[in-house]
Amino acid sequence: MDPSLHPPSRQEASGGDGSGRSECLPLPSGGGGERECVPQAQALSALVFLYRQVLDDPLPWLHDIVRATRPRRLPAVLSREEVGALLSHLRGTERLVASILYGGGLRLLEALRLRVKDVDFAANLLVVREGKGDKDRRTMLPETLRGPLQAQVDGVRRLHGRDLAVGAGEVWLPDALSRK
């Protein structure tokens, strides 16, 4: 039987130093002698399949494998005071966007992609379109942002009206879309 089909030793499975902290298992690649790094869980699943389905072996050595552990990462969360201090240094549109991020729980691109039709002032809702996972969702519009956001929308409408009055403020559309 080919010796490369046998399970790795404990030292090989743990990354070579015996610490068990390796996130991947080195396996021979199909190329000219170099090795590629395969996540340990994937390599272990392949070995389990091989021994259970192909070799019909009960895997007595499985409990000896030192599994890779992922580091715990705690999210960095600002306190209310820190958010207030941060927002106090911002003005205008930047402050409004940052406030929407914090108050509405939006991600940066979600806030930057908001359109007028995505804001429901009557119901205090924001509609996030094509967010994470390409899904639409609704979230709250904080009461404190209602006035500033309405002022932003009104200001942009006035600017657009002035642009149209001087012959600007239009956008090129493809033929099929411009006919709709």
64-122 pLDDT tens trace: 777 777 777 877 888 899 999 999 999 999 999 999 999 999 999 999 999 999 999 99
Query: CA–CA separation, 44 vs 23, rounded Å?
Result: 12
- pLDDT for res 31: 54
- pLDDT for res 26: 56
Domain assignments of the chain as residue spans, ordered by start: 3-64, 80-169
Look up the pTM and report it. 0.55
Give the number of other Cβ atoms within 10 Å of residue 38's Cβ. Answer: 15
Cα 129 to Cα 27, 98, 134, 136, 157, distances in angstroms:
42, 18, 8, 4, 22
- pLDDT for res 28: 55
Superfamily of domain 80-169: Intergrase catalytic core (1.10.443.10)
| Contact call for residues 99 and 148 (beta carbons, < 8 A) | yes
Q: Residue 29: which pLDDT band, with cuts at 50, 70 and 90?
A: low
132-145 pLDDT tens trace: 888 899 999 999 99
In a 3-state reduction of DSSP, which class is residue 35?
strand
